Amino acid sequence: MNELAVEQVEDPTILNAHDAIVRVRLTTTCGSDLHLLGGYVPTMRAGDVLGHEFIGEIVETGSEVKNHRVGDRVVVCSFISCGKCWYCKNELYSLCDNSNPNAGIPEMLWGQAPGGCYGYSHALGGWAGSHAEYIRVPYADQGAFTVPDGVSDERALFASDAAPTGWMGADLGGVRPGDTVAVWGAGGVGQMAARAAILLGAERVIVIDRFQERLGQVEQVIGAETMNYETSEVLAELRETTGGRGPDVCIEAVGMEAHRDRPDFAYDQLKQQLRLQTDRPTAVREAIFAARKGGSVFVLGVFGGFVDKFPLGPLMNKGLTLRFAQQHGHRYIPMLLERMARDELATEHLATHVMPLDEAPAGYGMFKEKTDGCVRAVFRP
Ligand SMILES: NC(=O)c1ccc[n+]([C@@H]2O[C@H](COP(=O)([O-])OP(=O)(O)OC[C@H]3O[C@@H](n4cnc5c(N)ncnc54)[C@H](O)[C@@H]3O)[C@@H](O)[C@H]2O)c1
Ligand SMILES: [Zn+2]
Ligand SMILES: [Zn+2]
pLDDT digit string (tens) for 360-375? Answer: 999 999 999 999 999 9
| Same domain? 337 vs 317 | no
**376 pLDDT higher than 80:** yes
Mean pLDDT of 298-309: 93
Residues in a beta bridge with 127 = 118
pTM given for the model = 0.97
| Same domain? 135 vs 183 | no
Residue ID of nearest Cα to ligand 1 atom 11: 301
pLDDT digit string, tens, across residues 68-121? 999 999 999 999 999 999 999 999 999 999 999 999 999 999 999 999 999 999
Mean pLDDT of 21-39: 94
Does any domain span residue 2?
no
**272 pLDDT higher than 90:** no
Total residue length of the chain: 381
Burial of 92 (0-12, 13-18, 19+ CB in 10 A): buried
Most ligand 1 atoms within 8 A of CB, residue of 167, 189, 272, 332 to mutate: 189
pLDDT at residue 329, rounded to an integer: 98
Q: What is the CATH number of the domain that holds 213?
A: 3.40.50.720
* DSSP strand pairing (73-76 vs 53-61): antiparallel
Write out the DSSP string of 50-90. Answer: P--EEEEEEEEE-TT--S--TT-EEEE-SB---SSSHHHHT
* DSSP strand pairing (296-299 vs 249-252): parallel
CA 29 to ligand 2 centroid distance, Å = 7
User: Ligand 1 site: residues with CB under 6 angstroms?
Assistant: 30-32, 34-35, 161, 165, 184-190, 208-211, 214, 229, 253-255, 258-260, 282-283, 300-302, 326-327
Give percent of the chain above pLDDT 70: 99
Residue 214 binned pLDDT confidence (cut-offs 50, 70, 90): very high
Residue ID of nearest Cα to ligand 1 atom 26: 185
pLDDT digit string, tens, across residues 216-246? 999 999 999 999 999 999 999 999 999 999 9
Q: Would you say 300 and 189 are in contact if contact means Cβ atoms under 8 Å apart?
A: yes
Domain count, the chain: 2
| Same domain? 134 vs 86 | yes
pLDDT at residue 1, rounded to an integer: 55
For residue 2, the Cα-to-chain-centroid distance in whole angstroms is 20
Does any domain span residue 14?
no
**Which atom of ligand 1 sits closest to the CA of residue 265?**
31
pLDDT digit string, tens, across residues 171-212? 999 999 999 999 999 999 999 999 999 999 999 999 999 999
**53 pLDDT higher than 60:** yes
CA 84 to ligand 3 centroid distance, Å = 5
CA 135 to ligand 3 centroid distance, Å = 20
Does any domain span residue 7?
no
Does any domain span residue 25?
yes
Does any domain span residue 5?
no
Q: What is the CATH number of the domain that holds 96?
A: 3.90.180.10
| Same domain? 219 vs 294 | yes
**Cα 322 to Cα 149: distance, rounded to the nearest angstrom:** 39
Amino acid at 149: D
Burial of 306 (0-12, 13-18, 19+ CB in 10 A): exposed
Q: Residues 68, 74, 80, 81: is their CA dihedral positive or negative?
A: negative
**Cα 235 to Cα 205: distance, rounded to the nearest angstrom:** 15
| Same domain? 240 vs 101 | no
Residues with Cβ < 8 Å from 343, sequence gap 6 or more?
A: none
pLDDT digit string, tens, across residues 144-174? 999 999 999 999 999 999 999 999 999 999 9
pLDDT at residue 136, rounded to an integer: 98
**Which atom of ligand 1 sits closest to the CA of residue 259?**
28
| Same domain? 370 vs 334 | yes
Range of the domain at 187: 165-324
| Same domain? 172 vs 242 | yes
CA 162 to ligand 1 centroid distance, Å = 10
Does any domain span residue 59?
yes
Does any domain span residue 81?
yes
| Same domain? 332 vs 281 | no
| Same domain? 286 vs 187 | yes
Pure H helices in 209-342: 212-217, 234-241, 263-273, 282-290, 312-317, 333-341
> 379: part of which helix (H) or strand (E)?
strand 377-380
Q: Residues 81, 251, 26, 66: is their CA dihedral positive or negative?
A: positive
| Same domain? 30 vs 45 | yes
| Same domain? 152 vs 282 | no
